[in-house]
Amino acid sequence: MASITTCSWRKSSAVASSSSPSPTPAWRQKAAPLSGPTLAHHSRQSSFNRSRSSSTSSPCSSSSRSSSRSSSFFSTKSCLPSYSDLTLGSVLYLPESPPDQSSVIYNELSLGSRLFGHPVVIIGKSVEGGEQFVKMRMCTTFRGQHINEAKHSRFHEQFILVENTQDCAVPADGIMATTEPGSARFRKRTYIDIKQNYTIEYKHLAPWAADGPVAIDEASTQRLVRGYRVRRWSPWT
């Protein structure tokens, strides 16, 4: 697999809103890699944004650029953040061309899986035997379909809508994963699978961006780290 030059992508991040981006908070500046199998995570506990409809900045407040690409997802950046600079909530890309069969991803995915070629949200980091690993959750557009069309209602709780520039409607349950201030947003209606997560060597991921790098905010990232079981909790705190 061709090597990818690393860089600090947050320095040139394009923003989705017209206002100046907020300074990067201290907790996002660095996430030090861990030794052993323990995955990195934050301790702050807060809820998803339950409603953006009354906000002056809605998920569709910034215009989406048109694109002639046929694929729902694509990579537009040429470099990855270094592993030490990689923060939880960062959106990267699982290339359509799969890694060699020695990768740990095949403990969870088959070689011909349709999950290759999709963005992923980083929810954990670990270093084992000198190898850098990440834990990730997959993103999907359901090929342009709304979840009501793509999945039976009993599967809806397995997916979280993430802030995007196509679909402003807050879900009926009021739960939407939101992006960091200053982050770009997904161009299309995008959902994150919160039931299943996957582990892969960091070197096999690629940069991904829409109108700039996308990063999920801290509160939403914490929900993604905890995953599927948070749907069973009431209230959402």
The model's confidence at residue 69, banded by pLDDT at 50, 70 and 90, is very low
Query: How far, in Å, CA of 11 to CA of 14, rounded?
Result: 9
pLDDT tens for each residue of 139-152: 999 988 888 888 88
Query: How far, in Å, CA of 96 to CA of 92, rounded?
Result: 13
pLDDT of 8 above 60: no
Dihedral pair phi/psi, residue 117, rounded to 5°:
85, 30
What is residue 52's three-state secondary structure? Answer: coil
Bridge pairing between strands 198-201 and 131-140: antiparallel
pLDDT tens for each residue of 188-210: 999 999 988 999 999 999 998 77
Report yes or no on whether pTM surpasses 0.75: no
pLDDT greater at residue 103 or residue 9: 103
Report how far apart, in Å, the C-alpha atoms of 6 and of each of 76, 78, 86, 213, 225 are. Answer: 14, 8, 11, 14, 25
Query: How far, in Å, CA of 132 to CA of 125, rounded?
Result: 8
Query: How far, in Å, CA of 143 to CA of 84, rounded?
Result: 34
pLDDT tens for each residue of 125-136: 999 999 999 999
